[in-house]
Each structure stands twice: as structure tokens, then as C-alpha cells.
A and B are shown apart, each in its own frame.
Chain A
Amino acid sequence: MERPTPTLDYRRKNKKRGGTSLWQDAFRRFIKNKYAILGLVILTFMILFAFIGPYFSPHQDVPDVTKANQPPSKEHWLGTDNLGRDVLLRLMLAGRISLTVGIAATLILLLIGVSLGAISGYYGGWVDVIIMRIADIIYAMPGLPILIVMGAIMSDLKIPPAHRIYYVMFILGIISWVGVARLVRSQILSLKEQEFMLATEVLGLRDSKKIIKHLFPNVLPTVIVAGTLGVASSIISESALSFLGLGVVPPTPSWGYMLSAANNMIDFAKRPWLWIPPGVAIMLTVLAINFVGDALRDAFDPRQKI
């Protein structure tokens, strides 16, 4: 007789009928992960801090040189910068930019990277050749010079500072999808050869169903990891751009910009309130996203213990 599988019992106790989908199981696994919850709490805090916080600030984001370079005090919790602006308020406003850029650029890069990678790997043939050659070209072009050129073009075209952020997100997304596309493509290539994909053919499923329901969940962990790294690197790339004066332009702040604005010895040595807060903000955000990303990756792998 076939041996019964006793492993089933302990996991199934609290399963409700109808709870058969990957997403429901993933959700259950996700919320049981302490780091995931911690990450989510930090992220939520950061988002509230950046988007709601400024409304509670008694200050205005306008220069007042009479108050320049004050250390933290009751009135200015994180001190003021060299133009006398409240650092806490600027930190919140900067968070809006950095978070938006980081997340939006990542969404763009995932959208392009995952769909092109999936199409390339799944259909193969000339579609694959074309997509991968484009990827090669983009990959071969050094990222920073492109960003510099794009930044210069934007300045030339007199794109209003408020709009530049959208272009920055878009450019960051466009130049960084290649890595994800390649990862997804190679995974799909190997998954396609697996017998369960042949089994989906045998059941008469449509291509869209095969890709979305059967292939996608298998590449999801890769996508999540790529996304996690993407947010962090986009926030940092944006800093580099701002540092070069090519990203968002002053007076609009971003965390990267604040960090790089404190780039002289005096600020560094004597006025830590200028660079510690944005540094901590970037670090916390990236860390939180990593926690959430790791937990998501595990949550979508049914072989992980609940």
C-alpha cells in the first residue's frame, strides 16, 4: 500500500475550504514573517512621514538666512541647513521625491524587463533575437554618461523642475530593465523545458494562461528580488543624478540631494544633522524594502515552512 503522507496534517488545520490559491497561501506565509511585518511598518511610517508629515510641520520650506546652520533645537528638531530651512521638513519633502522615484522607476523597469524577458524566453526565434539585441545595446551603453546626456538635454529643453522627476523615473527605468529581462528570460527558458509546461499544453491551455498562471508564479521570486534591488538602486541613482545637478533641481529636495549637499569638510565634521537624517532615511527604506522583498520571495515558495 502507498504510505499516507503524515506531513499534511499539521499544516492544514486552519485551512479554510476554497483557500487553494497560491496568493492566499503566500499571504498567510507572509504575515507570519516577523521581518516582513517590521519592514512593512517601517515602509508605512516612511510613506506617512513623507506624504502626510509636511502638513504637520509649523515651518515653511523657504530660506531664512538669519537662521542658517542651527543645530537641532526645540524649534528645529533636526536643525537648519545653510539657507536656514528646517531640515526635518526638507527630509519629509525629499522623501516624497525619493520614494516616488525609487518605486516608480522600479515599477517601470519591472514592467518592461519582465514582459520583454518573458516574451523573449517564451516565444524564442526572431522575437527573442530582436529583444536580446536591443538589450545588449542598452547594456553596452554606460549608464552614467547616458544619464548625464539626458540631464543635459532636459536642461536644454527647459523642462520645468517639477516635471523633471517624471523624466528621471522614466530614464532610470528604461536603462535598467536589461538585467531583469535577462534573468526572467533565462528562467523561462529552463521552465519551458519542464514537463509541467508540456502538461499545460496537453490540457489545452491558452498561451496567456500558461504564461500568467503557470510560468509567472515560478519567476516571481526572481522578479521580487530584482524589484527589491531596483528600488534601492533607483534611490541611489537618483542621488547621483541630483549630485551632478541632473536629477531634480533645487530647491526641490531629495534624500540623495540632501546627502550630497553636505559634501564639504565643515558640514561633514561640524554639522552632522545635515547628512545623518537623509542617510538614515535611505538606509531604513532600503532595509525595509529588503525585508519585505525577502519575505515575499519566501512566501511565494510553497516549499518553505509556514
Chain B
Amino acid sequence: MARNIVEFRNLKTYFYTEEGVVKAVNDVSFSIREGETVCVVGESGCGKSVTALSLMRLIQSPPGKIVGGEIIFDGRDILKLSDAEMRRIRGNEIGMIFQEPMTSLNPVLTIGDQLMEPLMLHKHMTKKEAWNKAIELIKQVGIPRAEQIMTSYPHELSGGMRQRIMIAMAISCDPKLLIADEPTTALDVTIQAQILDLLRRLKEEKKMALMLITHDLGIVAEMADYVVVMYAGKVIEEAPVRELFKNPKHPYTRGLLKAKPVIGRRQERLYTIPGQVPNPIDLGDFCYFSDRCEYTMDVCRKKMPPFVADENGHKVACWLYEGEWKK
């Protein structure tokens, strides 16, 4: 079995705001293996981006702070590294792309300038080497006329092209892990499919692991090897993708799957999970989903369900499966 490239162990990232402590990531543990695609899913505000930014150590402080846990990346605890060591990891060993390709590139610098930067910084290439490598990268992400693109400015490119450039930049130093935070949300559907194809192809070619954050289960089905479902700062279910789609356990995951429209099947209305994600401020010791869950029992409101694996390695945090734990 492949080695873990990243391991989150009881990560806690809190934001100290005026309203109180926002436990954006509250005791999160999961891991990503070499070459694997892990999708992190959940509704808006459940802490997906904060988890990824914690791994990059880019939590804005104040108000944010990583208050506990460990993040083991390639054998090192990220949280114990110096700033200089961390900078050597960012862009070099871990690449990251964002949701908004329109604003992720500096408007006054040429594409070439921006693409060459990490190469010269991390790979110590000369300008000429970096230039050639950048051209190669542009071709690799499927944009024609690379030489011309090098001297263009971001506003001369379409959204899809910009996202490709962002990807080129993120993979330029052959990272072991690529984090993609909702990389296609801002793009239209056809471009979305192309970008996903590209990510999948590059992942194979470069043998990198991919941490794909999304709230689109269609993308999960298409891309993931392994799925982590988050809710209100906690991981509530995780399993290999087939297992999860075949046998979703947590009522929240089932709700998400039901909420997804199915082609060919007529539905009166799209199913949505009733209620809202609780604001993760000063939450007590109970199942955070209990307000919205249709199976809520007494115990759910009194104690937090533990996160337990079944014999297939399918983990879930829900009192409904208490019976299975004994085995």
C-alpha cells in the first residue's frame, strides 16, 4: 500500500472573532496517500478551505490560529517547521490553486513573468531555462501558442485559460501534492470538464496526490479515489469513493447524495437537506447534525458520536452505527 503523503492528526484551527471562538476545523484527522485523489466535500462554511490553508500554514493570524494537532507532510510536522522551511515547501512540494482564476494572477505582470517565478526560486533555474520550462508547462496544460501567451497579461486570457495557467504554475516544480480548492466553481460546465480532465491527466503524469475540495458530488464521483465528508468543522464520514456512493452511512452524506439531481429520473423538486449548518461558535458536546437529522435520538443531543471505522475501513461519526462498533 502506498505511503501517506499527508496526515492530518487532530487538527484544530480556530478563529478568535468578536462573536466568539469559531472552531472552523475542530479535531480533524484524515490522510492522503501518494498519488491518490482525495475529495473533501461539505456545505459552504464547513471548514474545507481552512483545512487546506492550515496545511499550507496560511491561516491569517490574527484572528486565526492552529491551536492543536499535527500535520505530517512527507515525514515532517508542518506545524513545527520554520518560516523559511515552510516557504521551501510551498509552491515546491505542495502546489495550490483556487476558485477564482480571474483574480489569482497579478494583473500587471505577464504570464511568463509569473510562471517563471517559482521555477527560478525553487529550482534555481536561470532565466533562459525557466523560460523554456514555462513554455513547456503552457503546452502541457493544453494552451496553444505558448510563446505568445508568455508575453500576454492576465486580462488578455479567458477564465479557463487563466485557470490552466494557475495549474501550470502550481505544478511547475513537480509538487508531491496539489491542493485544488473548488477549482472549477467559477467556470462554465464545458470548461469545467476540461479542467478536471487536465487535472486527472497531470496527476497521472506527475504521480502527484490531489486534494480536491468541492461541494459538487458529480466531481467527486468522477475524480475521487477517497472521500472525506466534513460538517461544521468535523470529519463525519470517510470512505473509498465506491464504498461511499454505494453505502453512504451518515444521514448528512445520504442527504447530500439525495440532493444531487439524477439524470433521467424525474423529481418534483431537488431534495435539499432542511436546516442550516450551525455556526461553529461555542458548540457543545453533541452531534452537530442533530438539528437537521431525521434519525435524531436522545443520545445524539447529549454526546458527540465517536468517529469509528467498520471492517471495510469505512469511517463514520453517528450513533446509528453504535451496534457495529462491538465487532
A20→B107 contact, CB < 8 A = no
Closest to B164 in A: A2
Please judge, given known A-B contacts A5-B158, A8-B152, A196-B103, whether A20 and B113 are in contact too, CB under 8 Å. Answer: yes
Closest to A194 in B: B103
Please pick, from A7, A195, A203, A205, the residue contacting B156 in the complex, using a CB distance under 8 A.
A7
Report the separation of the CA atoms of residues A250 and B95 in the bound assembly, to the nearest whole angstrom: 66
Residues of B within 8 A of A158 (CB): none
Residues of B within 8 A of A17 (CB): 131, 147
B126 at the interface (CB under 8 A from A): no
Please pick, from B108, B118, B147, the residue contacting A203 in the complex, using a CB distance under 8 A.
B118
A195→B98 contact, CB < 8 A = yes
Please pick, from B144, B151, B155, the residue contacting A20 in the complex, using a CB distance under 8 A.
B151
B160→A2 contact, CB < 8 A = yes
Please judge, given known A-B contacts A204-B91, A204-B121, A303-B155, whether A20 and B110 are in contact too, CB under 8 Å. Answer: yes
- Residue of A8, A194, A204, A301 with most chain B CB atoms under a 10 A cut-off: A204
- Residue of A5, A17, A199, A214 with most chain B CB atoms under a 10 A cut-off: A199
A20→B118 contact, CB < 8 A = no
Closest to B90 in A: A204
B109 at the interface (CB under 8 A from A): yes
B208 at the interface (CB under 8 A from A): no
A202 at the interface (CB under 8 A from B): yes
Residues of A within 8 A of B279 (CB): none
Report the separation of the CA atoms of residues A60 and B231 in the bound assembly, to the nearest whole angstrom: 87
A202→B58 contact, CB < 8 A = yes
Report the separation of the CA atoms of residues A198 and B53 in the bound assembly, to the nearest whole angstrom: 10
Please judge, given known A-B contacts A5-B157, A20-B150, A302-B155, whether A205 and B108 are in contact too, CB under 8 Å. Answer: no
User: Interface 1/0s, chain B 83-112, versus A by CB < 8 A?
Assistant: 000111111100110101001111111101
- Residue of A8, A196, A198, A300 with most chain B CB atoms under a 10 A cut-off: A196
Report the separation of the CA atoms of residues A5 and B58 in the bound assembly, to the nearest whole angstrom: 35
Give the secondary structure class of B's interface: helix
Residues of A within 8 A of B105 (CB): 196, 199
Q: Return B213 CB to nearest CB of chain A, in Å.
A: 14
Report the separation of the CA atoms of residues A16 and B122 in the bound assembly, to the nearest whole angstrom: 27
Closest to B53 in A: A198
A22→B113 contact, CB < 8 A = yes
Report the separation of the CA atoms of residues A20 and B151 in the bound assembly, to the nearest whole angstrom: 5
B107→A303 contact, CB < 8 A = yes
Residues of B within 8 A of A218 (CB): 106-108
Q: How many A-B residue pairs have CB under 8 A?
A: 115
Please pick, from B98, B103, B110, B157, the residue contacting A21 in the complex, using a CB distance under 8 A.
B110
A22→B169 contact, CB < 8 A = no
B91→A12 contact, CB < 8 A = no
Please pick, from A15, A202, A220, A302, the residue contacting B56 in the complex, using a CB distance under 8 A.
A202
B153→A302 contact, CB < 8 A = yes
Residues of A within 8 A of B174 (CB): none
B191 at the interface (CB under 8 A from A): yes
B117 at the interface (CB under 8 A from A): yes
A18→B131 contact, CB < 8 A = yes
B194→A202 contact, CB < 8 A = no
User: Interface 1/0s, chain A 270-306, versus B by CB < 8 A?
Assistant: 0000000000000000000000000000001111000
B109→A213 contact, CB < 8 A = yes
A203→B169 contact, CB < 8 A = yes
Closest to A15 in B: B151
- Residue of A12, A21, A209, A214 with most chain B CB atoms under a 10 A cut-off: A12
A133 at the interface (CB under 8 A from B): no
Please judge, given known A-B contacts A4-B144, A19-B151, A198-B98, whether A204 and B104 are in contact too, CB under 8 Å. Answer: no
B153→A2 contact, CB < 8 A = no
Residues of A within 8 A of B58 (CB): 198, 201-202
Please pick, from B96, B117, B166, the residue contacting A205 in the complex, using a CB distance under 8 A.
B117
Closest to B84 in A: A206
Please pick, from B90, B100, B107, B161, the residue contacting A302 in the complex, using a CB distance under 8 A.
B107
Residues of B within 8 A of A25 (CB): 110
User: Interface 1/0s, chain A 210-221, versus B by CB < 8 A?
Assistant: 000110011010
Which residues of A does B touch, CB under 8 Å? 2-5, 7-9, 12, 15, 17-22, 25, 194-196, 198-206, 209, 213-214, 217-218, 220, 300-303
Top 9 closest pairs, chain A to chain B, by CB: A204-B90, A203-B91, A20-B112, A302-B153, A204-B87, A204-B91, A195-B103, A202-B96, A217-B108
